[in-house]
Amino acid sequence: MLLSPLATPIEEIHDRLLEQAGVRLLVKRLDLVHPVISGNKWYKLRYNLLTAREQGFKTLLSFGGAYSNHIHALAGAGHCYGFKTIGVIRGEEHLPLNPTLQFAVDHGMQLEYLNRVDYRLKNSSEITEKLKRKFGEYYLIPEGGGNALAAKGCAEIIDDIDQPFDVIACACGTGGTLAGLIAGLQGKRKALGVAVLKGAGFLRADVANLLQNSIDQQYNNWQINLDYHFGGYAKTTEPLINFIHEFETKHGIPLEQVYTGKLMFALFDLIGKGEFEHGTTVLALHSGGLQGRADLL
């Protein structure tokens, strides 16, 4: 029996920049939704786990990089709910393991490494058959958990918000969370995604496809900003690190450099540039992933 999500608070950020712009900024603390399966990953995995159990699968397999929040969450979910988990990791093995992969191993995940050439072909029949020969039958969850079931779960985030807002914003890796938010909004209010990958224009089509596959409907009340990737996925810069430290010191909310730091940097920058009308309330999703801070601090 999968647990219900813990009630998570909404905290308001008070800052002179926000006061000058006349914009309220709220943070939905999804990082507190589950002690192991943090943030939006809980919502993205929920219906995948239910479906895997209903279909009789004992093993879950998914893909990710060496610092993948999704791999971290999947290992925790398997440990909590009795699934064997396999993480197919991009690149070569490096020892000692980083904190993300060490957590995964400690929680029972078996790691399989694919070189970067093969990893780009991870959805091909050749790689799929190779993995099935090695591991047997498994329930496949795509990289980042971004599928229609993930979008269905993330749509329920809207139901867990008990304060009014005009724009809901999230960091975007695969687009699954953003697609779910759009579905949950049902055409009301606006959704903003901040891409954390370089050259992520493809996310617009991916989100549209996820919406089509999950609810068979499209909306036009959303956009994805591509300007705050800071060099690419898991890449960072000194200004981003300085912003994260300053934000935590002033507001008491921890961020990390892969997702939430980029989201908050983007929102403060956009608000400072006047991109939001006076009187707008923006609600930002804190999507967890704080295990990545080991590489930040």
One digit per residue, the tens of pLDDT, for the chain of length 297 reads 455 667 899 999 999 999 999 999 999 999 998 888 878 999 999 999 999 999 999 999 999 998 888 999 999 999 999 999 999 999 999 999 998 899 999 999 999 999 999 999 999 999 999 999 999 999 999 998 888 899 899 999 999 999 999 999 999 988 999 999 999 999 999 999 999 999 999 999 999 998 998 888 899 999 999 999 999 988 999 999 999 999 999 999 999 998 999 999 999 999 999 999 999 999 999 998 776 555 554
**SS3 state at 112:** strand
Q: Which pLDDT value is given to residue 4?
A: 63
**10-35+148-295 shares its CATH topology with 40-145:** yes
Place of tokens 């329930």: 139
How far CA 4 is from CA of 47, 103, 218, in Å, comes to 12, 23, 29
Q: Which pLDDT value is given to residue 174?
A: 86
Please give the torsion angle defined by the CA atoms of residues 34, 38, 44 and 46, in that order, rounded to the nearest 10 degrees. -30
Would you report the helix, strand and coil content of the chain in percent, each value rounded to 5?
A: 45, 15, 40
**SS3 state at 239:** helix
CA distance 149 to 168: 21
Q: Which pLDDT value is given to residue 2?
A: 58
CATH number of 40-145: 3.40.50.1100
- Sketch the domain layout of the chain as residue ranges: 10-35+148-295, 40-145
The 3-state secondary structure of 51-95, one letter per residue: HHHHCCCCEEEEEECCCCHHHHHHHHHHHHHCCEEEEEEECCCCC
Place of tokens 């020892």: 95
Q: Which pLDDT value is given to residue 5?
A: 65
pTM for the model stands at 0.89
Contact 237, 231 (CB under 8 A): yes
CATH class assigned to 10-35+148-295: alpha beta
**SS3 state at 248:** helix
